[in-house]
């Protein structure tokens, strides 16, 4: 799919992979719709890129997602590509004494409920457009094999993986494509402080955009490319490696 001269929406656009997507796509397209929750960072995006429209939406708040998407579609009827990029991860083990059960709902809302809702709310518009449209759902290698920590995060990514496949099946022979990006550990604010080998957000975004251009509907980035092979050849070893995160 060609990602030029379009109106594109990106969630989690103020940092990490989302911010790099904005930097790469803004010069090539008519409008970038950036969703975030930090007013100062959204303002900074507008200052750097003249074709940026920003919306402050807390993705854990379902009503804000609904009202926000209605407002976005009313103001941007030519929107044709959506990156469901935003995600959060709480690192404590559920078995840890300091684990906060309230964080479960927040992770489910941001990582799973919000992207599925954005897809559902936008689908009628995409289907009515006489041109190619696309959802790009960012997932993780943890969707295929979880780590010991952050089990709720792993579960949401497994759910996004399953949802993206099913949603793609539903939209066969339509103008709507569903991409999924399975990422390795990427150097972003969410992974700050981890010593594991990471790839840069810039490298991750370059791989994502190459995969979309080539119409690879499941885009495995970096070391995540090994996961399907290892799951067949050495599933026990893969689980042990991924367990450590």
Write out the catalytic residue numbers. 153
Three-class HEC string of 34-63: EEECCHHHHHHHHHHCCCEEEEECCCCCHH
- The DSSP line for 191-239 is GTT--S--EEHHHHHHHHHHHHHTT-SEEE-GGGGHHHHHHHH-HHHHH
Beta carbons of 188 and 12 less than 8 angstroms apart: no
Give the tokens for residue 228.
């399907």
Three-state secondary-structure class, residue 136: strand
């Amino acid at each position: 799919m060609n990602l030029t001269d379009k109106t594109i929406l990106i969630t989690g656009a103020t940092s990490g992979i989302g911010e790099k997507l904005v930097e790469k796509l803004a010069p090539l397209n008519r409008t970038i719709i950036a969703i975030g929750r930090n007013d100062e960072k959204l303002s900074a995006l507008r200052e750097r890129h003249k074709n940026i429209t920003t919306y402050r939406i807390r993705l854990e708040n379902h009503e804000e997602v609904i009202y926000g998407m209605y407002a976005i579609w009313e103001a941007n009827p030519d929107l044709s590509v959506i990156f469901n990029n935003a995600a959060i991860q709480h690192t404590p083990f559920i078995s840890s004494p300091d684990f906060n059960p309230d964080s479960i709902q927040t992770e489910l809302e941001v990582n799973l409920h919000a992207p599925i809702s954005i897809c559902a709310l936008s689908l009628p518009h995409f289907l009515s457009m006489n041109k190619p449209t696309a959802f790009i759902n960012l997932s993780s290698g943890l969707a295929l094999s979880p780590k010991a920590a952050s089990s709720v995060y792993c579960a949401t990514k497994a759910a996004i993986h399953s949802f993206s496949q099913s949603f793609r099946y539903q939209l066969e022979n339509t103008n709507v494509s569903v991409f999924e990006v399975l990422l390795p550990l990427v150097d972003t604010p969410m992974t700050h402080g981890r010593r594991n080998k990471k790839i840069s957000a810039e490298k991750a975004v370059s791989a994502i955009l190459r995969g979309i251009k080539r119409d690879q509907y499941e885009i495995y980035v970096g070391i995540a490319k090994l996961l399907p092979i290892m799951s067949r050849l050495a599933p026990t070893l893969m689980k042990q490696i991924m367990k450590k995160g």
